[in-house]
């Protein structure tokens, strides 16, 4: 009928009882029908006995389903003889004889027979049967067009496709191909050929459409294994994205040594290399802040001092300290000419770049562990002033606005345009606040943190 067949190495094909090649190596495979047919009394007996049998300590894995997806995996890997042997020994067929017959009919281009077999399979959902029939008859229609059998294509459209009443727009589109095809014969064009799928591609699409109990999803076992690895990685407390190798032979678990604790490399112009080691703090660094032009960096030790670094040279340009007190956070003004620092006495100090104290904002402006930020107009200082409260302090008129949360605030981050504030809470939620004008809650997100 002018169908388009895929070239496939002989070793990838599977023999069927009729002697025709029908295996599909990507997971849609036909086993050796004679060796595992459900019409065989012994196979039927073993299959019926195993319907409710479970394996594993939790009693949730059905033996029949496990054997079927193992068989599908063997066929998809090209181990056709092993897959057929598994079906024969277990008495559990990969597919029913009706499904195997249906798949072979698709590959052979026996469209009318395949539609009849599809209905005999007995799908519970009639809409799925109609949609699958539409896909099959559409393939039949296009193969007629490719073979220049226009009257047969027209008959298929009128008497078989249209009565399905599944997609009127698609029917009208198909009718247009008949008209255009006759004209295209004059100029050699063949636009409908680009719409023609290979029969194996059609089988893959039908596989996605039919229920998994009827036709095992492609590479189902591989998909389940990948899911298991993803869950193990997500449950690993110390997993680092640089750790890419995971084994199927052991459960995945990273040690504490996988936690990044030192800056070793910097990516410059697409190349990763060590640029500088910024040394000088006596205590662990708890806070960093980039300058508006990204040429300088502030680092703050735990209740210690703030250091300002030149990025190009790695040189420490200045150290900011408060006698008798420790600094706990740091941030830049919008013009990059002054810096802010939270202090252990809950005040905020404003410094110029040379270390001169310009202003000290007294009162409970911050807590011992707090983030700092500046609003988009540079007129408001944003800081955590209590465990569940954020302060927006007016620098010009010394006004105060507050954002209250029901839970303890862990940290916050400003958007690039400084109009939104993303707040992390102790109950594992993220709240997004619009602070451009009157502060209001914009959206809330639930997140999961492994502890």
List, as one string, the DSSP characters of 145-182: HHTT-HHHHHHHIIIIIGGG-S-HHHHHHHHHHHHHHH
Please state the pTM of the whole predicted model. 0.47
Per-residue model confidence (pLDDT) at position 342: 85
Per-residue model confidence (pLDDT) at position 39: 39
pLDDT at residue 448 is higher than 50: no
What confidence category does residue 404 fall into, taking pLDDT thresholds of 50, 70 and 90? confident
CB 280 within 8 A of CB 318: no
* Residue 140 CA: distances (Å) to CA of 152, 161, 389: 10, 10, 68
Q: How many Cα atoms are found within 13 Å in the side-chain-facing hemisphere of 401?
A: 15
pLDDT at residue 329 is higher than 90: no
* Percentage of the chain exceeding pLDDT 90: 13
Neighbours of 267 (CB within 10 A): 9
CB 295 within 8 A of CB 311: yes
Region of poorest pLDDT, from 39-53, 110-124, 160-174, 236-250: 39-53
**Residue 190 vs residue 336, higher pLDDT:** 336
CB 320 within 8 A of CB 305: yes
Per-residue model confidence (pLDDT) at position 250: 86
Q: At what angle do helices 126-146 and 199-209 cross, to 10 degrees?
A: 170
**What b/e readout covers 115-144, taking b as 16+ CB neighbours within 10 angstroms?**
bebbeebebeeeeebbbbbbbbbbbbbbbb
Classified as helix, coil or strand, 257 is helix
Tell me the domains of the chain and their CATH numbers: 10-209 (no CATH), 283-370 (2.40.10.480)
Classified as helix, coil or strand, 201 is helix
**Residue 418 vs residue 141, higher pLDDT:** 141
């Amino acid at each position: 009928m002018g169908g388009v067949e895929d070239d496939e190495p002989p070793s990838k094909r599977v023999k069927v009882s009729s002697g025709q090649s029908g295996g599909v190596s990507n997971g849609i495979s036909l086993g050796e029908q004679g060796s595992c047919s459900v019409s065989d009394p012994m196979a039927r007996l073993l299959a019926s006995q195993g319907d409710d049998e479970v394996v594993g300590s939790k009693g949730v894995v059905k033996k029949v389903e496990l054997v079927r997806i193992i068989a599908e995996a063997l066929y998809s890997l090209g181990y056709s003889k092993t897959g057929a042997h598994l079906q024969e020994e277990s008495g559990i067929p990969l597919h029913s004889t009706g499904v195997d017959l249906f798949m072979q009919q698709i590959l052979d281009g026996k469209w009318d027979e395949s539609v009849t077999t599809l209905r005999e399979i007995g799908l519970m959902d009639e809409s799925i049967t109609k949609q699958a029939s539409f896909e099959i008859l559409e393939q039949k229609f296009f193969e007629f067009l490719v073979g220049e059998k226009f009257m047969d294509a027209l008959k298929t459209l009128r008497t078989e496709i249209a009565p399905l009443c599944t997609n009127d727009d698609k029917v009208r589109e198909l009718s247009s191909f008949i008209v255009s095809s006759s004209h295209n014969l004059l100029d050699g064009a063949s636009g409908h050929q680009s719409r023609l799928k290979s029969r194996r591609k059609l089988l893959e699409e039908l596989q996605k459409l039919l229920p998994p109990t009827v036709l095992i999803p492609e590479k189902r076992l591989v998909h389940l294994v990948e899911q298991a690895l993803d869950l193990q990685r997500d449950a690993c407390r110390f997993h680092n994205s640089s750790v890419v190798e995971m084994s199927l032979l052991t459960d995945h678990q990273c040690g504490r040594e996988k936690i990044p604790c030192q800056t070793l490399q910097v990516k410059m112009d697409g190349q990763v290399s060590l640029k500088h080691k910024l040394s000088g703090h006596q205590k662990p660094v708890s806070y960093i802040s980039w300058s508006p032009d990204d040429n300088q960096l502030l680092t703050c030790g735990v209740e210690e001092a703030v250091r300002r670094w030149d990025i190009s040279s790695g040189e420490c340009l200045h150290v900011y300290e408060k006698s008798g007190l420790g600094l706990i956070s740091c941030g830049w003004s919008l013009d990059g000419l002054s810096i802010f620092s939270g202090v252990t006495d809950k005040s905020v100090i404003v410094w110029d770049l040379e270390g001169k104290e310009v202003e000290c904002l007294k009162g409970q402006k911050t807590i011992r562990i707090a983030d700092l930020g500046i609003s988009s107009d540079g007129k408001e200082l944003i800081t955590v002033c209590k465990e569940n409260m954020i302060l927006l302090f007016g620098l010009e008129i010394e006004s105060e606005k507050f954002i209250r949360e029901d839970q303890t605030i862990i940290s916050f981050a400003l958007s690039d345009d400084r109009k939104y504030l993303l707040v992390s809470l102790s109950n594992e939620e993220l709240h997004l606040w619009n602070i451009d004008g009157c502060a209001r809650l914009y959206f809330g997100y639930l997140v999961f943190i492994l502890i």
